[in-house]
Amino acid sequence: MTYIAFLRGVNVGGKGIVSMAAIKEALVALGLSDVRTYINSGNVIFSTRASDAQQLTARIEKALEQHTGMAIKVLVMDHKTLKKMVGAIPRNWVDDKTMRTYVLLLWKELDDRRILDRLPIKPGVDELRYTPGAVVWRVDRENVGRSQMNRIVGTPLYKKISIRSANTMRKLNELTATPTRLPAAD
């Protein structure tokens, strides 16, 4: 099965600097197949026969800490889940010169429609949509400074969210759409 590991807080704003090569090496050492990274912000695609995402998450977090010396929180998602999530992003919501669109990936304990009531949105500026596993947030570029969403930074809520652009999520969906062949089991 093809998975994506979203690493939280890696190579963002000059903090949590870790090489993608070290991350890849850690996952290969775990016995995961077809390990590849996408951009420098902690997106790792891999294949494995394992089907328990929670168990994979624990194994990956432990391996990353051993290889990098950093405690990195990880959210593991299979391609089917990613595809549904990307399908929930309105097609005209993009990340370009006119608007910003981000996907706030939610840890299990936050994954509920009521998360929308906990986010500091400004009506008429921020648009939010819940989809299982995420909140999709859109704001016109001209209104980014008026948005209230930056108020979540540093809060306990923020520590259970990993953020990617809609463009990144769409690209990861493309990259994981073609299943890779795993070697036959012994």
pTM of the model: 0.91
For residue range 59-87, list pLDDT tens digits in order: 999 999 999 888 999 999 999 999 999 99
DSSP class per residue in 7-46: ETTSSBTTBS---HHHHHHHHHHTT-EEEEEETTTTEEEE
Asked whether the beta carbons of 105 and 111 are under 8 A apart, the reply is no
Within-domain flag for 184: no
What are the tokens at 22? 């070290």
Here the CATH number for the domain that contains residue 21 is 3.30.70.1280
Considering the domain architecture, whether residues 9 and 67 belong to the same structural domain is answered as yes
Give the count of alpha carbons within 13 A of 46, CB side only: 27
Give the count of domains, the chain.
Answer: 2
Q: What is the pLDDT of residues 130-150, one digit of tens each?
A: 999 999 999 999 999 999 999
State how far the alpha carbon of 61 is from the alpha carbons of 57, 85, 106, 114, 119, in Å.
6, 23, 17, 28, 27
The residue range of the domain holding 94 is: 82-174
Write the pLDDT tens digit of every residue in 151-178: 999 899 999 999 999 999 999 999 999 7
Question: In Å, how far are 94, 122, 137 from 125, measured between CA atoms?
Answer: 16, 5, 10
- Which of 18, 47, 79 is the last residue in one of the domains? 79
Query: What is the distance in angstroms between the CA of the first residue and the CA of the last residue of the chain?
Result: 17
Rounded to 5 degrees, φ, ψ at 109 are -70, -15
**Domain shared by 74 and 113, yes or no:** no
Domain of residue 121, CATH code: 3.30.70.1260
Can you give the pLDDT at residue 101?
A: 98
